[in-house]
Structure 1
Amino acid sequence: MPYFWVVGTDTDVGKTMVTTLLMRNLQKQGLRVMPYKPVQTGEVFNGEQSFYYDTAMYEKYSLQSLDLKNLNGYSFKEAASPHFAAQLEGQQIDTQRLLSQMQQLQSTYDVVICEGAGGLFVPLDTYGKTTLLDVIVQSKLPVVVVTRTALGTINHTLLTLEALNKRNIDVLGIVFNGHTESEMEQDNIQMILQHHPLPFATIPKLEDPSQIAEYALRDTSLFERLLKHETIIN
């Protein structure tokens, strides 16, 4: 467990929020935790200041001082697929550089959480030959899958889990994000867990990011699984 990915079934499913929640909750266990975003896109402007949402969230809500220069590998201004955003800036994403950064962090911190970009098959190169999934396979790290609870999540989640299982990637659990407790959403969750009875956490729809500071995951089967793996390995 000390090193794992947070991946999504799609873009905007809440990977950054979940990564930040996991970071905070694991930090509360006395562990030195480092979040890492290999590739982030979409520069955000606030007046004369600019920032990137993902790494800004890590920095804002971390309970520990973070090594800011090692929070991510590449940052591109355009809010687009990594390969296209990189192309617009005349750059290419070096996946070996990303893997080396991950290995370096793993030698320094108790826990490293690598947050993916978009879904598993997001291309990282211009020709579409290398995807995020390829980097996950090469990293040999397990994953936590983040998915929605709304209509369409059954198909997206099962396809994501099938792709991971086909490549023998260990899935530590699922986070169902944005739950409003409707009957349909409850059934969606139950249906997914019938196919894949994994540890899980269900997170309600948070109206404001600041609610992250008060939200606890410690009583979920997913968090118990993470702590169990950390104890075994250490």
Structure 2
Amino acid sequence: MQHFWVVGTDTDVGKTVITTLLMRQLQKHDLQVMPYKPVQTGEVYENGYYFYNDTAMYEKYSLQRLKQENLNGYSFKEAASPHFAAQLEGQQIDVGHLLQQIQLLQQANDVVICEGAGGLFVPLDTYGENTLLDVIVQSKLPVVLVTRTTLGTINHTLLTLEALHARNVEVLGIVFNGDTGSQMERDNVKMILQYHDLPYATIPKLQDISHIIDYSISHTSLFERLFKYETSIN
């Protein structure tokens, strides 16, 4: 069985959207897929209910029934870096607990997609001893990198790839998210791929998140890589 992370160059690059999209695409191929958010922050109150956008999106758009207790390790109310959000509630994030959960989920599912929080160097504790990247390294799982297509993405993407390579983390491919089709965006994508010849998918800027159910990446080199990777292991 093979599993992977979805990580981003920064916060709000669309990691949850891409995690959900990849989940649905793999589920369509009769694979038991479990999305997992080790740490989520920012509780939302809407229509009399409290919820977290990340795990709520998994549940809403999954083609398979998901066990809610398996979707998340820690949830904190404040929309902030995990270490600070945990501190506000007098809690500490136990990295060992997260890694144990990931291991258990791997044993029970064909594919586990772990979604990161923020960028690679987001701290998980007050003293900065553990970052998201440290957890990724310890999990020994490869990653799919989500990045923007807009101004600044070349620098952010190349720095993130350098950090992953420095820690010997395998990169399965890149998702360029939120593309509007401008000449600059096309050049940004081209330039990044000149530096790193990786499988990729370019996702247009969706007018509404619900449009995710109609979008397919099955024709992309990234999905071909993922699907071959999963079936070859299974």
Partner SS for 2:78: coil
C-alpha distance in structure 2 between counterparts of 1:13 and 1:176, whole Å: 9
> Residues 24-39 of structure 1 correspond to what in structure 2 (within 5 A)?
24-39=24-39
C-alpha distance in structure 2 between counterparts of 1:233 and 1:7, whole Å: 22
Partner SS for 2:55: helix
Which blocks of at least 5 consecutive residues in structure 2 are unaligned?
Answer: none
Shift of 1:129: 1.5
> Residues 163-178 of structure 1 correspond to what in structure 2 (within 5 A)?
163-178=163-178
C-alpha distance in structure 2 between counterparts of 1:208 and 1:44, whole Å: 19
Residue 79 (1) aligns with residue 79 (2): yes
> Residues 179-218 of structure 1 correspond to what in structure 2 (within 5 A)?
179-218=179-218
Name the counterpart of 1:41. 41
Partner SS for 1:66: coil
The percentage of counterpart residues that share the same residue type is 76
Name the counterpart of 1:12. 12
Name the counterpart of 1:228. 228
Name the counterpart of 1:140. 140
> Residues 95-114 of structure 1 correspond to what in structure 2 (within 5 A)?
95-114=95-114
Give deviations 1:78-135, integer Å, cap 9, x for gaps: 0000000000000000000000000000000000000000000000000112100000
Question: Structure 2: which amino acid aligns with 1:60?
Answer: K
Question: Structure 2: which amino acid aligns with 1:221?
Answer: S
Partner SS for 1:75: strand
Question: Structure 1: which amino acid aligns with 2:228?
Answer: K
RMSD of aligned Cα (Å): 0.7
Shift of 1:47: 3.0
C-alpha distance in structure 1 between counterparts of 2:114 and 2:120, whole Å: 13
Runs (4+) off by over 3 Å: none
Partner SS for 1:38: strand
Greater mean alpha carbon deviation, residues 40-49 or residues 182-191:
40-49
Q: Aligned residues, how many?
A: 234
Partner SS for 1:107: helix
C-alpha distance in structure 2 between counterparts of 1:202 and 1:48, whole Å: 37
Shift of 1:207: 1.1
Partner SS for 2:69: helix
Name the counterpart of 2:65. 65
